[in-house]
Amino acid sequence: MTVRTRFAPSPTGMLHLGGARTALFNWLWARNQGGKFILRIEDTDKERSTLESVDEILASLKWLGLEWDEGPFFQSQRTALYDQKVEHLLREGKAYRCYCTKEELDASRAALEAAGKKPMYNRACRDKGLGDPLQPHVVRIKAPLTGITSFTDSLRGVVEFNNAELDDFVIRRTDGGVMYNFVVVVDDAEMGIAHVIRGDDHLANTPKQILLYKALGYGIPRFTHVSMILGPDKKRLSKRHGAESVMAYRDMGYLPDAMLNCFARMGWGFGNQEIFTRQELIEKFSLDKITMSPAVFDIAKLDSINMQHMKITPDAELARLALPFLRKTRPDATAEKLAAIVPLLKERSRTLVELAAGAEWFFTKDVVYQPDAAAKFLAEKARPALEASIAAIDAAPVMGHNELKGAFTDLAAKLGMGLKDIAQPVRVALTGGTVSPGIFEMMEVLGKEETVRRLTAALNR
């Protein structure tokens, strides 16, 4: 049987790191097993669901490259199916209409609480027959009063709940709206989901869902409840720890593949391996290597993973990804030209934003000198070094960085200066600042004419 997994976000906000990791685990398991990954938007909560959230979630998944095979299905468009299932449960006597008013419910709960008992529904309508469908009512499940409900979780083994603790919970509200625990079961079953992988915040919902699987006559899927993501301080991940939304990381210049690598390492492992390509994740992923201990998100770790991914990403691809960032300040930059200087930058950049910032000097018509750098390195005393550099470059037969380095080493010896004393004025002349790739590598990519032009401009300043 084909493995079918799903990601079922509620569109009530942006896609968070935790949600993205859930999506990833489902996607990886489907891809690893040659199965299907289904996207379902759980938008039954009309007040909290928004179209902007839907758009943001879809865009985030697309950016991460977690493409789905079926969907997105919207629960708001499936109400006929849910109503049919509610009617079925009513007919079979597995659910009932409850006409209790809010006041009655409050009073009975208060009485239970006063008696030191768990405030549950007192089941006043449970045995009253089907009742009038036209009178305002909710539909409740007829939960077993004794015994145990159990299910198997891949990480926890057999999990048991005492049925006496389960309420006759509502599956359809007075306004006709259907409840999460009900629709999630109908959909997972009808969509053929045999592996439910989700956050362990849903663990407590699972016994209720098991009751519904049984009542509806569906087979029970395999559950994997993944631990929550914590910040480095071991508290639940939140704004305190930095950005929460996936898109914020895109805007900070992280690579989608590095994000996936980082998510995968939060709660899953394969020996001591830290860096995984997308393809390796697909090949190596398995549910039994997911750990139960809480996963920790640390931006320093993401930085280091991202840097490693920058190194293994082909130059042309990095240029394509960094171009939108560079275009903010250099609208005329092209991916082709950027690709030529990516090798100078990829080892020293943590993110695409850093790479783009590091590339600005190349796309400059008139170098803008940082005042401190200019005061220090382009003062009158730099004249001999700059003049000699121009002459050396003019005379250079080839603009290879090794040849240039040789020529400048000879030049420094002739002038009785250290190579550094020549390099810094040249660096400021070429880039405007004191931090840059190696000057010979820069000269090589700038070419003779442009290098001389920039050095002359600095000299004439």
Q: What is the helix (H) or strand (E) element at residue 347, kind and residue range? A: none
d(CA 126, CA 8): 32
CB neighbour list of residue 298: distance below 8 Å, 6 or more residues apart: 231, 232
Task: Based on the shown chain and the rule CB under 6 A, indicate whether residue 210 belongs to the binding site for ligand GLU.
Answer: no
Could you tell me if 34 and 264 are in contact, meaning their C-beta atoms sit under 8 angstroms apart?
no
What stretches of 264-311 adopt beta strand conformation (E)?
A: 295-296
CB of 288 to ligand GLU, least distance (A): 20
Task: Based on the shown chain and the rule CB under 6 A, indicate whether residue 8 belongs to the binding site for ligand GLU.
Answer: yes
Task: Based on the shown chain and the rule CB under 6 A, indicate whether residue 184 belongs to the binding site for ligand GLU.
Answer: yes
From 16, 42, 90, 169, residue interacting with ligand GLU (rule: CB under 6 A): 42
Q: How many residues bind ligand GLU (CB under 6 A)?
A: 7
Which residues does residue 6 pair with via DSSP β-bridges, in sequence order? 38
Q: Which stretch in 5-13, 215-223, 261-269, 447-455 sits in contact with ligand GLU by CB under 6 A?
A: 5-13
Task: Based on the shown chain and the rule CB under 6 A, indicate whether residue 18 belongs to the binding site for ligand GLU.
Answer: no
Task: Based on the shown chain and the rule CB under 6 A, indicate whether residue 16 belongs to the binding site for ligand GLU.
Answer: no
Q: Which stretch in 2-10, 143-151, 404-412, 424-432 sits in contact with ligand GLU by CB under 6 A?
A: 2-10
From 3, 4, 9, 68, residue interacting with ligand GLU (rule: CB under 6 A): 9
3-class secondary-structure state, position 324: helix
Could you tell me if 7 and 26 are in contact, meaning their C-beta atoms sit under 8 angstroms apart?
yes
Nearer to ligand GLU (CB atom), residue 23 or residue 318: 23
Q: Which residues are catalytic?
A: 239
Structure token digits, residue 371: 């005042």
Structure token digits, residue 71: 């969907």
Among positions 272-301, residues that touch ligand GLU (CB under 6 A) are none
Nearer to ligand GLU (CB atom), residue 225 or residue 330: 225
Could you tell me if 224 and 22 are in contact, meaning their C-beta atoms sit under 8 angstroms apart?
no
Nearer to ligand GLU (CB atom), residue 9 or residue 256: 9
d(CA 218, CA 189): 6
d(CA 129, CA 90): 10
CB of 356 to ligand GLU, least distance (A): 34
3-class secondary-structure state, position 267: coil
CB neighbour list of residue 102: distance below 8 Å, 6 or more residues apart: none
CB of 101 to ligand GLU, least distance (A): 30
d(CA 442, CA 7): 47
d(CA 269, CA 292): 12
Task: Based on the shown chain and the rule CB under 6 A, indicate whether residue 195 belongs to the binding site for ligand GLU.
Answer: no
CB neighbour list of residue 251: distance below 8 Å, 6 or more residues apart: none
Could you tell me if 458 and 378 are in contact, meaning their C-beta atoms sit under 8 angstroms apart?
yes
Nearer to ligand GLU (CB atom), residue 8 or residue 90: 8
Q: Which stretch in 3-11, 52-60, 66-74, 418-426 sits in contact with ligand GLU by CB under 6 A?
A: 3-11
Task: Based on the shown chain and the rule CB under 6 A, indicate whether residue 198 belongs to the binding site for ligand GLU.
Answer: yes
CB of 128 to ligand GLU, least distance (A): 32
CB of 160 to ligand GLU, least distance (A): 20
Q: Which stretch in 6-14, 23-31, 102-110, 434-442 sits in contact with ligand GLU by CB under 6 A?
A: 6-14
From 94, 109, 202, 222, residue interacting with ligand GLU (rule: CB under 6 A): 202
Nearer to ligand GLU (CB atom), residue 8 or residue 446: 8
d(CA 393, CA 400): 11
CA distances from 186 to 86, 199, 227, 265 (A): 10, 19, 25, 32
Q: Which stretch in 7-15, 86-94, 155-163, 266-274 sits in contact with ligand GLU by CB under 6 A?
A: 7-15
Looking up tokens 């783009």 gives: 356
Task: Based on the shown chain and the rule CB under 6 A, indicate whether residue 11 belongs to the binding site for ligand GLU.
Answer: no
Nearer to ligand GLU (CB atom), residue 53 or residue 431: 53
Task: Based on the shown chain and the rule CB under 6 A, indicate whether residue 237 belongs to the binding site for ligand GLU.
Answer: no
The phi, psi pair for 196, rounded to 5°, reads -105, 115
User: Contact residues for ligand GLU (CB under 6 A)?
Assistant: 8-10, 42, 184, 198, 202
